[in-house]
Structure 1
């Protein structure tokens, strides 16, 4: 495989279900925490360095070949909010379905059979990257980028922002995405010696709180 596989996996048009999720953005908009381009940038940066770092570590570890079910347990421990955990598993199921159709693999088939209720999305992302011939750093970059790109894209719909502003934001934080991906990959390289405790566990309590509030809403545009 070549690096082009990364472009396929990171493409927002890849049918992995992310379009139905806002990464907490809808709840942030509802609470007025995000209301313009500046507050959107703060939200995306915060999410990148917390949930994004944690997801990137899990993805890198899965891409390195560590047991995905062990990593799924580590993801559970790092996702205390039930609503956020459920959303991660829904996204994982959808990604796994798309991945098995795109890069058929006995390993992905086994993962689907081993945990029918779904595996956390970053773990599936890493396992998919490995199947596609990508490196742990590639998987970490994809996870880190998604952590900011999903909310930024959702904000365009929720706030009516200029799409050019959202794209410019993602370009401005590209260096931070790379930094997060490298830190996550470095942590993943220590799992063999130190166990899953070596992986990032950056907390984002406000994301957990707004995730639970969003799940309780009866009218919403996004699933999470």
Structure 2
């Protein structure tokens, strides 16, 4: 395993398109659910234990070599919002494009052929981690960090929130990230024997509703 590869993959400057997405924060700010650092912490914690957990388990399973088609179908089933499914596939396509430049592999080439419109981002993330020599825990950590760093970064822009406060929110969430990764990897390890039903299906209804509302806005700062 290469921890340096993990740093590259998790770097916010890695050209995977995540900077254009708020992780639901833009809709939450508009609805008044995020107006302070304390609100951001609550939002990120909720997102971490729902969408973040699901994404981490999918990524960990992909890193273990579970069939991408099976995992992509599982991701679809766990994402009721068409807007979120579309965003996940766009992010997956962009991530795969960047990753093939960094870690050329037959496995990534095959994924691109199988999903010309993009697989769900966590499925791609796990497959990329595997190509980069990383394990399921590494893939899960990337997924959970993305699930909270995107809203934190977006809120700085949307609210003019102090970036030091936003960073503090992420730092204080570290124990939660560890716990979610442990749960995600434990579930992923069961998939080869039990199938995709072993993966968590934690729900965040307001994230889904907010995504559909956000997608209909004529003007918005973020794509999702």
Please state which band the TM-score falls in when normalised by the shorter chain. Answer: over 0.9
Runs of 4+ displaced beyond 3 Å: none
Q: TM-score, normalised by structure 2?
A: 0.99
Q: TM-score, normalised by structure 1?
A: 0.99
The answer to whether 1:144 aligns with 2:144 is: yes
Residue 158 of structure 2 is matched in structure 1 by 158
Aligned runs of 1:108-147 on 2, under 5 Å?
A: 108-147=108-147
Q: CA shift at 1:219, angstroms?
A: 0.5
Q: CA shift at 1:115, angstroms?
A: 1.2
Deviation by residue 1:107-134 (Cα, 9 ceiling, x = unmatched): 1011001111110000000000000000
Report the Cα distance in structure 2 between the residues aligned to 1:215 and 1:68, rounded to whole angstroms. 27
Report the Cα distance in structure 2 between the residues aligned to 1:10 and 1:122, rounded to whole angstroms. 13
Deviation by residue 1:41-96 (Cα, 9 ceiling, x = unmatched): 10000000000000000000000010111100100000010001000000000000
Secondary structure of 1:22's counterpart equals coil
Report the Cα distance in structure 2 between the residues aligned to 1:100 and 1:53, rounded to whole angstroms. 26
Residue 61 of structure 1 is matched in structure 2 by 61
RMSD of aligned Cα (Å): 0.6
Between the two proteins, the alignment pairs up a number of residues equal to: 224
Residue 209 of structure 1 is matched in structure 2 by 209
Secondary structure of 1:190's counterpart equals helix
Q: CA shift at 1:201, angstroms?
A: 0.7
Structure 1 gap ranges (5+):
none
Report the Cα distance in structure 2 between the residues aligned to 1:7 and 1:102, rounded to whole angstroms. 13
Residue 176 of structure 1 is matched in structure 2 by 176
Report the Cα distance in structure 2 between the residues aligned to 1:201 and 1:4, rounded to whole angstroms. 31
